[in-house]
Structure formats: structure tokens, C-alpha cells
Structure 1
């Protein structure tokens, strides 16, 4: 029986039973055993704590929201001529009251969510021989403001912006270089974006190729590393934002970096069509016509080596990228093939979340979904490095 769950974008996703996928590929074979012997008992041990923490957080939130409301009623009766002022107290008082009274409980729920995600994703990565790190701050032991500050300092020491000095703001954009690329005009260079260093080379490679939009801050989570088809690879989720009046998220998605067993002779850039257009200063990069007319219409490719680009981006390999894009409800796929590296960026909502913390933890769908997502990543890498992957994939 195939169950329906919802992804981070709220779209329905079919999740087959864990037992049904065990024979789909060799890495899935150990899945039922890991679930029964390790993962399910570990999640069950956390379930009662999850329920109690949620009950406590909701109860305190209700009380916290009620206090400013009572003040409004009493103040409105006693001093009706100040009703506008009391309404301001209600508007600002409710969030402040919730933070002061229930803030630590919701922080505990956030920590519980990260711990659950790390447990499930680590177990799924174990099936493939990969490693997983949430890259999230360790707040499991936060009980008061002092321990919260200590956790923040520890996180900043490990992942903080290397160029930022304590107590200073690093929001101002530095000197930028404006260039015209085969995919349009873009800015790059000394952006002085705040945030941690990317734990993989993907960010720097894509930034140098102007395949990422200009941004003021960056954040990374869900780091997966390992070896596949004899090549080291890394995958991380990135969120890039700008500040100012029109600020907001300019990129959220997955960054892939794969070490190729041999160096490329040329430099190839590819992206979904109708997004970037060839600039005036393309220099040595020239447009490549793909073998498939359908794919040539869907993707824009430029390279310094036409023969290598066509041999690299064959229809079957491009289908692996499209399958990955489709599963993650993603878009604006773009990538760079240079030296001995394949680097890809895929815009998508939050991934690798391992299910909701507001639902019972002991649900094999959490584990099954993680396995399927990792299987798709492997299919993409296998398709480029070995031209061999699991047929009739999920």
C-alpha cells in the first residue's frame, strides 16, 4: 500500500512501504533491519518526551497570549480613553509574552526536531556509507538565557563568519565586480556576505562562475558527504538572502559537488532555458547544441569544448538531472563542469527534513523518504560517472 505524505512545499508525495523498497537497490536491503533494530526503538524512546514538550509549549503559549488580553480588558474598562494605547500593548505584548514564558519550550522543540532529523538522516546515510551533519547549533542543553548565549557563542566559533569581528555588523556589501556571463549580467567578488563558510567547495565554485545571485547573508544546513562510484561528493542545503527594502531570500536549494576521476579538457556551464541569456562578453564560451532537440530546448549550454560538452551532457545523463529536479519540486537547475569537478545548484524548498515534529516519531515513512532521496542523488552521480544506475527507480 502506497501512502501519501506532504513535502516541504505542501505537495503530496507517494511513499511506498519500507519493506517494498528493500529489493529496489542494494543499499535499501539493510533498511528494514536498521529500522526495526535501531531507528524505531530510538524514536520510540523520544516519543513521550516529544508529546509532553509539545503539550507544555502549547499550554504556556496559551497562558502567555492570555495575559496581554486580560490587561487589555482591565485597562479598557478602567481607562477607556486610552484604548488605542492598550491595543498597542496587545499587539506587541502577545509576542513578547510568548517569548518570555514559552520561548525556552519552543526552543526545546526546535532542538528535538534537529535531533530527530539527525537520527533519521544518519541512519539513512549509514545504508549508503555516507555521513550526515545538520550543521545546526547544539541547543539540546539550553535551559535559560545564559546557556542560550553559551550555545550561540559555541556555534559562532565553529560556523561563524571568518571575517566578522565580535560585536560588529558585516552587512554592508563590499566592492563588487559586474561581469557579463553566458547566462546574463551578474555581480560577484567581495560581497562580504555574512554567515558561515560553506562546508563544501560548491558555493565558491558557483559563486566564482556567477551562477548564484548576489546576496548579503548565507546559511547552510544538512551536509551529506561520502564516496559514490569511486568519487568523493558533498551535498549541502543553502539559503542566500539580501537585506534592504527589497531584501529577502534570493536562493534556497541544494548545492552538489562531485570530484570527477579525470579533469575536463574544457569549461562547460549549463542551466535551464528561459532563465539566463547569452551576454555580450561570452569570450571563449560558445553555445552548445545538445543531441536531443527536446533537451536542447529545455537547457542552455555554453562551453569552451563543444565535443566534450555534448559527450558529457548526453540525454540519459540529463534525464538523471531532471528526475532529481522533479522529485525535489525544484527549478532553475544550473551547473558547472570544470577541472575535475561537477558542481550543481538546484533551487528547492527545505529538503531532508525527516518529517514533522508535530506528528508521532515512530513512522517508517520518515526513513523511507530519506532513503529514496539519497537514492536519487546516487542515481545522478552514477549516471555521470558510470553510466549505470538502478532501472525502474522509485
Structure 2
């Protein structure tokens, strides 16, 4: 168990989504508006579905904060589902089940069938409601709290989309600094760091929508200002790259994660794959390249942490003839169930990725420096950063 952890709860069409964070130090300045800005970013992006028009997510802080500062006790966050009023009979906590909107036809690529088998459900809505990416709402809220902590010690986290479907800006963005990529992405409807390419991406998304298709893609998340030495090499479960990979793979529809140049390194000679070490009086030790993505030996090495994730197309399709499936009761072939869905959610997934990276880095930071009074902790962090420059 780490010093920082969170649990979330709630169903996609239930009354609310909640999260409890344990381990945030006292005396961290925190406001609901700061969290709400992050929640709004998760709901943006060209190609989102009808749900985003219904839900305007706003957080309620129910515990752990007083007069704008954390207390060191568990923080409870809640985001109400506005659509709940249309689902009160279907998602009722008590009473008798209703047949309306029951799901018997599992979607390929979703948790529907396996979840139904595992938990013994005859209505697959019981699976869909929790497996839904709506759950990431509270992840972004928790990530916002962690971002607020990290920015106090000079750590910045951002993201941008590299590709959607067959379109990519990977080559076009190579000469753009990380934080400028992020600023550019915030101005782009598809969150790419080369906004002048927006129209090409939007046309592809429009075409997919016309065909009743969905699109996946690749996004990158980075953290700058991360000091060397977070994580550890001494045990497998303390390696920060392992924690990052687990955090990103837990995001719905993510099927691949790499740190730095990842899979590309496998095809290079050793002399081409590693980051040479240099030293300067002002900077201390540093690298001129960052193929390792800021992580070596299970620890951060002082360079920007860069994580790349691949998101598969959303499994809910709106085609006249959708993916083939089999009804769980009749065992007859059937077109997979259709729910209100996005054409693509890669831009939103990048924001969720930011949240998860913030959680992992914040946990590693507090593990190393303690998690009682944030004012004391900050002093120790700044002293340690100076030490890394003088080592």
C-alpha cells in the first residue's frame, strides 16, 4: 500500500460518481474551480457523443478541505450525473427490476460478456454501467488534486494527441518543445500540437461518423520538472515505470503503453538507444537526448517523463449492420447492442492520462518526502532538488 491512494465508485447512469483520496498532506491550497477546469477539459474534443451535451461535470468537495486548504484527512469528491433523472427507474437502488433498456446482446471489444459471466448477470447493463469510461470523471478529479500538489514544486503535466486513425502529426511535432505542444493542443479541437492540421482530422472523424464507425489513436503525456530518484529499483512493485504502465493500461480502451521511445528502442543498436550523461555547473547531471522517457532503472532520472498510449476504437458502433454477436439468452446471432457513444475519445483519453500520471508521480513524491504538512514537505523537496544539482 502506497502513502497515496484513491478509490472511486458510481455507475454511468447512477445518481453520482464519487472518489475518496487518502494521503494528501495538510495545508495544500485547493478549490473546486481548479478541479472543475480539469473536468471540463475531459469533456471536450471533436467527435464526442451526446452524453457530453447532457453532462456538465462539476465537483462537490464533501470532506478533507476547510477554508480552501486540505486537512490531511481523506478528501471526498462527488460529481452528480445530470442524466440520472432519466434513469431513476432503470437504475433504482431498491425495488423490482424493469425490463426497459435491458442488455442481452454483448458488444465485441467491451466488458459486457465476460463481466456477465464472471458476476452472474442476466442483464449486461450491470456490467456496462461500471465498465463505462464515464468512470474516468472521478479519475480526472483526483488527478486534478494531484496536479495542484505537483505544480507547487515546479512539476508540470500536459498531453497532446499524436494520431487519430490513419492520421498522425508525429513527424510534424518533432521540433516543437513539450510545453509548447501542450499549449498548441489546448487550442486544437482534436488536441493535436499542430492545430493547422485540425481540418484533416475533423474530416476523418466526420467520415467515420457517417459510416457509423469509431476511431482510436495515440496520445502522449509528459511531466517536466520531475526530480531524479522517484520510484526505486529495489523491488518490482516499487519501479515507477511499472506503476505508470499499470495506471495507463487501466484506462478504458488503452491497449498499449510505452515510455520514451519504447518499442523503437528494440530495433536499435545499444549505442543508438541510450541517453549519454553530461554535467554542467548550473544543471548538474543531464542528458541531451531523452530516449528513456525520463525513467531509468525503475526511477525518474531528472529528464521529462514521457508516456505514449495507444487507444483502440470505441467498441460501440452505430452502423446499420454492427459487429456480430450472440444473444446471451437465446444464443441466436445478433447485431451488437448500441448505446449513445463517441466517434472518438482520444482527446479526452489524453486528459485522463494526465490525471493518472499525476497520481503516480504524486504518490512517488510523497513516498519519498512524507505526507503530513505540505509546507514542511515542500522545503524538503526543494532541498533535495538542490542536492541533485550538487551531487
Q: When the two structures are superposed, what TM-score results if normalisation uses the length of structure 2?
A: 0.31
**Relative contact order, higher structure (CA 8 A, sep 6+):** 2
Q: When the two structures are superposed, what TM-score results if normalisation uses the length of structure 1?
A: 0.31
- Which protein is richer in helix relative to its size? 1
